[in-house]
Structure 1
Amino acid sequence: MLNTILTWAVQRRLADIRYFQQHPHEVQQEVLHSLQHTAKNTDWGRQYGYADGVSGREFAQRVPISSYEELYPMLERVLRGERNVLWPGQVQWFAKSSGTTNARSKYIPVTREALEDCHYRAGRDMTALATLHYPDTQVFGGKTLSLGGTHTPNPMRPEDAASRVGDVSAVIMQNLPTWAEHVRTPPLELALLDEWEEKIERIARHVVQVDVRVLAGVPTWMIVLLRRVLELAGTDNITEVWPNLGLFLHGAVAFGPYRKLFRQLIPSGQMHYQEVYNASEGYIALQDEPDSEDLLLLLNHGIYYEFLPADQWDSLEPHAVPLEDVELGKSYALIMSSNAGLWRYKIGDTVRFTCLAPYRIRITGRTKHFLNAFGEEVVVENAEAAVAAACQATNTTVRDFTAAPIYFAGAADGSRGGHQWLIEFLTPPQDTERFTAVLDTTLRQLNSDYDAKRHRDIALVPPVLTVAKLGQFERWLAQKGKLGGQHKVPRLSNSREMLEEILAVS
């Protein structure tokens, strides 16, 4: 009965999904006008004339594109509790994500409107599509096992108990409506634990006896949990624990490297996988067709989108294009204005359009080279600072380096991964273990996401150092026809292709 009622309720969203698919440009203009009208009396809205209710073209001319660093003076005021700065009222919740060149972590406002009209609305869309495509799973007949992060007091105003910062998954879970708590597991006191080892153990012991129908979370951590559940149950097949399991809602990292391992852990023909693109800044897209890896761009969820072509990423005066002007196959940086009070905000993700009717995308990476195979979000600035610290500690000099992920699927510790650092030294350090240890420690100090994944080696093992032969990078550049000029070796890559090519150079 509960499954029937809730399925009927969420499937009412299917009509809205069809509407924004059929009228994308009109819907996006409505979103922009609503955002301007709501924020017209904020400090930001008055500065840029939101009361005029201008078109998308005029909006782009008036309002600058901003990175986190550029918007931070206003964001800091919001963090400190000032009202009506970027969005009406006072913001109490903030999503904490990986840091920038200036800070260990970023703090993204999560307004009540962002929760209700973006994250939760998109969650209902996701569930509506799941019940449509996979009716046999009966997602509301049992429990959804959601694995997320935690939240802590706002460091900018610790005296305000109501203001919190944390992983966006924790913010969402803490504020879920009462009815949603009846269909999810584990209970909040376990789901929001901050000690990951204790959290995995206690959740595993709780859910082993629960009728789990759906999994929701990041593949990296879900594998750790599933392995512990299997150990407790004394089996190597999760369907013997949860015979009704039928769906995994996953995001945050590329699923490709984990697909084979999940099929080993869940050897069931009734198991389905649905990708979601839910960032700290908002719920952006989701997989709407079972047999496609493309993601449907969500257009009536309080986010107005613009797209920055690749040749504009480093421009001092970047020119973004609206949705109606995007082209298939090109890579764009996402620019968003949202009901979280982010205005023409450059979130750093890049996408490629695979369909224009309706608008579907694939995530292609970041505007800068990065490592995010396991949710660690290591950026070039982190890598260069860590290498410099290791050089200083071991009295050596690095000529060139690059890093890529290592996947251990199929091994005894197949739930974990790592980073391989290929480094060419002018003079190799006498103590390579010390060099690697300082590199690792510095990364943990600089990047909170990397530090979380490295905690007790649960998801990310210590880095592996490979010493390159003298001139190896230069010979690789020569082979690629990129020797000299401004050509250089990318510091980080989210695949092993480039690193393997360099290793193969004689």
Structure 2
Amino acid sequence: MNKTNILRYLYADRLKKIDLYSRNGEEIQRQQLSYLLAKAKRTEIGRQYEFNSIKNYSAFTSRIPVIDYEGLKPYVKRMHQGEQNLIWPGRIKWYAKSSGTTNDKSKFIPVSKEALKECHYRGGQDCVAIYLRNNPDSRFLSGKGLILGGSHKVSSISRYADCGDLSAVLIQNINPLINFIRTPSKKIALMSEWESKLESIANATIHAHVTNLSGVPSWFLVLIKLILQKTGKQYLSEVWPDLEVFFHGGISFDPYREQYKELIPTEKMHYVETYNASEGFFAVQNDFTDPAMLLMIDLGIFYEFIPLEDINKPSPRIYPLWETEPDRHYALVITTNSGLWRYNTGDTVKVTSINPLKIIIAGRTKFFINAFGEELMVDNAEKGIARASAETGATVINYTAAPIYMSGKTKGRHQWLIEFEKMPKSLDSFAESLDRNLQMLNSDYEAKRYKDIALGRLEVIPARKDIFNEWLRERGKLGGQHKIPRLNNNRNFIEEMLSLNQNKI
């Protein structure tokens, strides 16, 4: 008997509700907003903005300002000291610790009981439900899921509040029954020292019956190679012959896709992108043939979108889901069941379709290059790297890029620091290919590159082995959900990495 069919039966009603996204998106989102306002009307923020008298979206937008973490932080500090009913009813005990802003080493994102149950965990179940619909031959429940989480262990902020990275918070609060279908043990999963953790995970899972993986692609590659080294196998499918799906997120999968195909050379392997942030579970890929992700619009989150060109304006245009347009880039603003009210996530997305609304993660509002009007986004960079790698036979592990500004008679250009696992035969050919593909992917970049008038051809500097991990380690951010800043308008990060790159091991 295929036990996975039990899940198909249990998820049937949920899938019917997800299918309603196509024709009832506006109604569903209006209901989410009404629910959130009603739930929080007696909180401090609810009384301040008179939530009880907000009857429509227009009143909501005119009364409540858009904020970022700096606007949220005063409430977070008060909640850490035990204050209740500030932005969401009751006391919020859990906080997802993530990379900080300019003024803070870390952000502490509130995670309410409702967000855990109705958003993050339900979002995870929706991933499985949608995957099983797309793969009728799945035997998902015949083995266990290997989840590679972050490296921030659960710790106490105060007597009233605990924190960890999102994966640690989710593992700490998960239904104990789930531990029967996941690996490694909770003790190993919550280890904080990254290199010891990888070693323990590898030892604990080599002989497990693993059918599915969940985690960040770059870090999972490190674990996979360690497992292959320990087992003496060439392919991961030799270690786990029933492996069938990798739920991945956190960074683009494009630069790593070919490496995974080489390490898991089986037609039954599937890859599903997810968008699960500290602030909430946002989206999941619902079609193996379409890289865009379905925005999950009934998990206690109300979505708004700021056009990319308006991000830095004092009074930007802001649209609800039902007023977005396809093929446009937006900054993502959310109102959630953790008490984030019109919170600018800092993420940018490209809307690819409306009914239902589907998105591609484009990058961060702070992580792009626009030194010469080229507006190069992370999604352009990821696709360009993937195409250049395919054309030149290279394999890229990690990279970052920043502009070199004009000086004297020298034209401005982009400088890329790239760690290759497999070097291209010609570094110059790789640079040429990357430059050409970026022009094909981005018309603004193409215009600035025209006859080298405004922007010279990009420069590629090969990075020595593990340089990016060293940079993360120096900042106490090695492993898990920490990411290399791919693109930056200034040279702060790349100069630090170039300095490390000159050091010999």
* Offset from partner CA, 1:168-215 (integer Å, 9 cap, x none): 111112211123222111110111111111111111111111110001
Assess if the C-alpha contact under 8 Å between 2:334 and 2:342 holds in 1.
yes
Quote the Cα distance in structure 2 between the aligned partners of 1:311 and 1:23: 29
Deviates more, 1:58-67 or 1:136-145: 136-145
What SS does structure 2 have at the residue aligned with 1:336? strand
User: In structure 2, how many angstroms separate the alpha carbons of the residues matched to 1:223 and 1:33?
Assistant: 43
In structure 2, how many angstroms separate the alpha carbons of the residues matched to 1:185 and 1:153?
Answer: 18
8 Å CA contact 2:286–2:293 kept in 1: the answer is: yes
Counterpart selection for 1:329 from 327, 330, 340: 327
SS across alignment from 2:219: helix
Contact between 2:21 and 2:355, CA under 8 Å: does it hold in 1? Answer: no
The letter for the 1-side match of 2:489 is P
CA contact (8 A) 1:208 1:229 kept: yes
Q: CA–CA distance in 1 between the matches of 2:399 and 2:54? A: 37
1:128-167, aligned counterparts within 5 Å? Answer: 128-152=129-153, 156-157=157-158, 159-160=159-160, 163-167=161-165
Structure 2 counterpart of 1:410: 422
Sequence identity (%): 39
Matched, 1:491 2:503: no
Shift of 1:263: 1.0
Query: Relative to 1, partners in 2 of residues 1:192 and 1:366: Cα closer, same or farther, differing over 3 Å?
Result: same
Report deviation, 1:441: 9.0
Of 259, 269, 275, the match for 1:261: 259
Measured after TM superposition, the shift of residue 410 of structure 1 is: 3.4
User: Match of 2:125?
Assistant: 124
| Alignment partners' CA distance in 2, 1:145 and 1:156 | 29
| CA drift at 1:36 | 0.4
Q: Secondary structure at the match of 1:82?
A: coil
Going from structure 1 to structure 2, the CA distance change for 1:196 and 1:448 (only over 3 Å counts) comes to closer
Residues 28-39 of structure 1 mapped to structure 2, 5 A cutoff: 28-39=29-40
In 1, Cα distance between equivalents of 2:233 and 2:416: 34
Contact 1:137 1:244 in 2 (8 A): no
| Conservation of the 8 A alpha-carbon contact between 2:400 and 2:416 | no
Contact 1:213-1:245 within 8 A present in 2 as well:
yes
Confirm or deny that 1:286 pairs with 2:284.
yes
The answer (yes or no) to whether the contact 2:293–2:358 under 8 Å persists in 1 is yes
Does the Cα contact within 8 Å between 2:43 and 2:86 map onto a contact in 1? yes
Give the equivalent residue in structure 1 for 2:115. Answer: 114
1:83 aligns with 84
Which digits, 9 at most, give the CA deviation of each residue in 1:51-70, with x for residues without a partner?
A: 12421111010000001112
- Paired residues for 1:286-365 under 5 Å: 286-365=284-363
Q: How does 1:346-495 map to 2 (within 5 A)?
A: 346-369=344-367, 404=416, 406-410=418-422, 449=477, 451-452=478-479, 490-491=489-490
Are 1:62 and 2:74 an aligned pair?
no
What is the DSSP-based 3-state SS (H/G/I as helix, E as strand, rest coil) of the residue aligned with 2:331?
A: strand
AA of the residue aligned to 1:408: F
Cα distance change of structure 1 residues 316 and 327 upon mapping to structure 2, 3 Å threshold: same
1:211 is aligned to 209
Structure 2 SS opposite 1:136: coil
* Residues 109 and 404 of structure 1, relative CA distance in 2, 3 Å threshold: farther
Would the alpha carbon gap of residues 231 and 137 (structure 1) be closer, same or farther in structure 2, given more than 3 Å must change? farther
Structure 2 CA distance, aligned partners of 1:126 and 1:4? 16
Equivalent position of 2:218 in the other structure:
220
- TM-fit CA distance, 1:377: 12
1:178 and 2:176 correspond: yes
In structure 1, the partner of 2:99 is: 98
Q: Which amino acid aligns with 1:297?
A: L
Q: 1:129 to 1:409 in 2, by over 3 A?
A: farther
Distance 1:62 1:378 in 2: 40
Query: Contact between 1:302 and 1:338, CA under 8 Å: does it hold in 2?
Result: yes
Ranges in structure 1 where 5+ consecutive residues have no aligned partner: 385-398, 412-438, 464-488, 500-506
Cα contact 2:151–2:480 (8 A) shared by 1:
no
* Counterparts of 1:27 and 1:123, CA distance in 2: 20
Q: Which residue of 2 aligns with 1:24?
A: 25
CA shift in 2, pair 1:94/1:376, >3 Å: farther
State the 1:14 CA deviation: 0.6
Q: Structure 2 matches for 1:183-198, cutoff 5 A?
A: 183-198=181-196
Q: Secondary structure at the match of 2:108?
A: strand
Residue-pair matches, total: 419
Change (3 A) 1:335 1:104: same
State how far apart, in whole Å, the 2-side matches of 1:370 and 1:351 are: 13
Q: Which amino acid aligns with 2:51?
A: Y
Distance in 2, matches of 1:18 and 1:453, equals 33
- Displacement, 1:357? 1.2
Q: TM-score, normalising length from structure 1?
A: 0.76
Measured on the aligned residues, the alpha-carbon RMSD in Å equals 3.4
Segment of structure 1 superposing worse, 173-182 or 344-353? 173-182
Whether the aligned pair in 1 keeps the contact of 2:157 and 2:163 (CA below 8 Å) is no
SS of residue paired to 2:20: helix
Q: CA deviation at 1:453?
A: 7.5
Are the structure 2 counterparts of residues 400 and 291 from structure 1 closer, same or farther at C-alpha, using a change threshold of 3 Å? closer
CA separation of 1:366/1:257 partners in 2, compared to 1, >3 Å: closer, same or farther? same
**In 1, Cα distance between equivalents of 2:238 and 2:364:** 40
For residues 141 and 53 of structure 1, do their structure 2 counterparts lie closer, same or farther at Cα, with a shift above 3 Å needed?
Answer: farther
CA deviation vs aligned residue, 1:442-484 (integer Å, no higher than 9, x gap)? 9867x654x55799xxx98xx9xxxxxxxxxxxxxxxxxxxxx
Q: Does 1:14 align with 2:26?
A: no
Corresponding residue SS for 2:326? coil
C-alpha spacing 1:80/1:154, structure 2 compared with 1 (3 Å): farther
- Post-superposition Cα deviations, 1:313-341, rounded to whole Å, max 9, x if no partner, equal 11222331111111111111000000011
**Who is 1:235 aligned against?**
233
Tell me: CA distance 1:296–1:442, structure 2 relative to 1, closer, same or farther (3 Å).
Answer: closer
Q: Is the 8 A contact 2:4 2:140 kept in 1?
A: yes
**Inter-CA distance 379–101: structure 2 relative to 1 (3 Å threshold):** farther
Segments of 5+ residues of structure 2 without an aligned counterpart are 370-377, 383-395, 405-410, 424-467, 499-505
Aligned to 1:392: none
Deviations 1:367-418 (A, max 9, x none): 12259889999999xx99xxxxxxxxxxxxxx9996645242437xxxxxxx
Over 3 Å counting, the alpha-carbon distance change for 1:71 and 1:376 in structure 2 is: farther
Q: Quick one: structure 1 residues 404 and 91, their matched pair in 2 at CA, closer, same or farther if it must change by over 3 Å?
A: farther
SS of match in other structure, 2:339: coil
CA–CA separation in structure 1 for the residues paired with 2:336 and 2:189: 28
| Structure 2 SS opposite 1:214 | strand
